[in-house]
Each structure stands twice: as structure tokens, then as C-alpha cells.
Amino acid sequence: MEFQNQNKIRFFIKGMLSACADPGIAAAGIFHQMDTSWQSGNPYEKFMGRWSHLVAQQFLAWMAVPANRRWLDVGCGTGTLARVIAADYQPDEVVALDSSPEFIAYARQSLPHPALRFKVGNAEAMDLSANAVDVVVSGLVLNFVPQPDAAVSEMLRVTKPGGKLGIFVWDYADGMEMLRYFWDAAVALNYDAITLDEGVKFPLCKKGRLGSLVRKAGLNQVEDVSFEVATAFQSFDDYWQPFLGNVGPAGSYTMSLDNKDRKQLEARLRESLPIDETGAISLSARAWAVKGLV
């Protein structure tokens, strides 16, 4: 393991089931506890960072923030957004915050830029003063925060009046095909896995939900869009190996299986994925994004 320090988000599926709209699932009475691992920078980059980077570029261009601004990146992970902001948007400062000390250590080490300041912290209660920054951005994070409304309130609190807030999340339920194929295969083999399917578990990933959340929190002039990026895998291994890195819900699920069940899942994915004659797999990934003024 790359880092020894444990920082795991506990998912108590029992609580999720009580909120689940599907009576079939609730009736199953499944109790399942799993850890979602956000602690290894290199595996994250292979699993998700290479795709979140593509969305980050489109999203930041859409945010249209001029130079010499103070930014906050909430749930920065390995530094996907912060890296692009520092390289392309001439910030005065970027505070990049994440609850994972391991990701913060990885980002700090791999992005030694004078404008970047990395910080361990919780999106729901940030150790930042009111009106501290001009722009807040957050990519692929809010689905994992237990109280996303509290996190959005915090983002508004720390942004100066007239400043900008922009957020995006994957469309796990439909357009994030890499994970859609994964969970469809996992559920086909074991129906209990539906309780871990990010498309079921995270209602915020559905169309229009993020916009409703930020409007309700008081963000003004809200615009909702979607971004679609190509997720091109050179081979089945290029798709599958990153799931063995134990990152995020799908990686945690894969590594929770015994060898036989993991092989079965791999075989199912080999059958269901659209592998072309060269062995490559061309998928796409959609993110829902919002921006507005504070």
C-alpha cells in the first residue's frame, strides 16, 4: 500500500437503504458495509484522474475566470483541477482542500507550484474565513459528501459576494459508461451489489439535481450544462487493471471479492464491453456541471 495512514469513508448501506426509493431493493433487507478508499494517488490517477482531467479542462474554460483571482478547490483529490488552474489561469492563490491526508500529501509532492496551498479539511465545515476567495470549484466530490447541502453552504460562505461557484459530478446513473458497464456487470452477477451501484446510491448524480441543490442554497444566475469526454481504453487490461487499485466504490467492491468472484466479474465485463477488432474500447463519460454567482 502506497500510504499507511488510514482515511476511509464509511458507507453504511443500511442507512442508504432506508432512503432508497426502490422497494425491491429495500425489501431485500440487505445490510452491507464497505469502505471507499481515497488514499493512493498513483492508482487514483490511473483509475479516474486521467478522465477527470479531461472534464476539468472543459469545465474551467467554461468557468471563464480571469487572472489574479484567489481560488478554492474543494475535494481536490490528487490535484486535478488545481493543476490546470495553476497552469492556465494565472491565479494569485489556489487553496486545494481534501479530507484525504494521503491525497493531499501526493498532490503537494507532485505539484510544487508557488500559488498552490494544499490543506486537509472537510467540505462540510471548512477552516476558512468568510469571503476568503473569489472562486470556488469542486469536481466529482459532492456525491461522496454525506451532507452536500452543508458543503454548498460552506462554499457560499467562503466566497466573496459577486464571486463564482462551479461544481461538477459524474452522471453515474447513465452517461459515465466506464462505471455503468462495471456496475451492470456486478449487479447481474450478484443483485446485492445494487446497494453499492453509484448510479443508485448517489441521487445527486441525476440530471437536474445539482442545479436544484445550488439554487436552493442561494446561488444566483445558475447555469446547468453537461460535459462529455471520450474515455478511450487501448485494451481490456487498460480498462480493467485500474479497478484492482482499490480506489473509489468500484475499486473497493472489486477488491472485496474473492478471487473466483473477481474472475467472474472480469469475464462478464469482457463479454459486455464493446471491444473492437483491435482490442480497444471506446466509451464516453458525462458530467453534470453548474456555475453561478454568489
Q: Which residues are near ligand SAM by CB under 6 A?
A: 38, 48-49, 52, 75-77, 80-81, 98-100, 103, 122-124, 139-141, 144-145
In the complex, what is the shortest distance from the CB of residue 205 to ligand SAM, in angstroms, rounded to a whole number? 12
**Of 77 and 163, which CB lies nearer to ligand SAM in the complex structure?**
77
Helix, strand, or coil (residue 262): helix
In the complex, what is the shortest distance from the CB of residue 28 to ligand SAM, in angstroms, rounded to a whole number? 27
In the complex, what is the shortest distance from the CB of residue 249 to ligand SAM, in angstroms, rounded to a whole number? 10
**Of 22 and 174, which CB lies nearer to ligand SAM in the complex structure?**
174
Alpha-carbon span 104 to 109, nearest angstrom: 9
Alpha-carbon span 63 to 288, nearest angstrom: 14
**Of 25 and 139, which CB lies nearer to ligand SAM in the complex structure?**
139
**Of 75 and 163, which CB lies nearer to ligand SAM in the complex structure?**
75
- Return the H-helix or E-strand segment holding 84: helix 80-88
**Of 142 and 265, which CB lies nearer to ligand SAM in the complex structure?**
142
Alpha-carbon span 160 to 5, nearest angstrom: 35
In the complex, what is the shortest distance from the CB of residue 124 to ligand SAM, in angstroms, rounded to a whole number? 6
239: left (phi over 0), alpha (psi -120 to 50) or beta: alpha
Beta-bridged to residue 227, according to DSSP, are: 287
In the complex, what is the shortest distance from the CB of residue 267 to ligand SAM, in angstroms, rounded to a whole number? 27
Encode 125-145 in three state secondary structure: ECCCCCCCEEEEEEECCHHHC
